[in-house]
Amino acid sequence: MIATRGAYKSKTLATWIALAGGSLGLHRFYLHGFGDRWGWLYPLPTLIGLYGVQRMRALGADDHVAWVCIPLLGLTMSVSMISAIVHGLTPDENWNAHFNPDGPAHRTGWATIFGVVAALVLGAGVLMATLAFSGQRYFEYQAEAELRSSRK
């Protein structure tokens, strides 16, 4: 999908929007407009994940609904960090051909590189935390089930 003609799209801004608000699809809306179907797929799992975080804070770590909801937040955050990395590392020629065909050309600067580095660090941390959380909850549940079955 090619951006609207004449609308300049900054690779740096797209990278930082994906970093800061990508889990809500804001980077997709910046690049493709509010009609972007993929952009509208981000907010629901993010909000479900935030609901899971709220439930765990209120009800504790034994809440099974939170166990299902929280990884959705980690997934959308990880996907948005990957998007930030992809946007930031797209060669200027490809970016300009796709998003700025008729307007001024974008040139990558240090702000884009710092955005990519921040997305890499944050994305790796979120992905590792999501995997650790999900694995821990799964194995704790299996251990509890085994303990219950051995008591019978």
Q: Is the pTM here over 0.85, yes or no?
A: no
Does residue 95 contact residue 109 with C-beta atoms inside 8 Å?
A: no
Tell the burial category of 51 from Cβ atoms under 10 Å away from its Cβ (0-12, 13-18, 19+): middle
What are the DSSP calls for 66-92, one per residue?
HHHHHHHHHHHHHHHHHHHHHHHHS-H
11-66: per-residue pLDDT in tens? 999 999 999 999 999 999 999 999 999 999 999 999 999 999 999 999 988 888 98
114-142: per-residue pLDDT in tens? 999 999 999 999 999 999 988 888 888 88
Max Cα distance, the chain (Å): 73
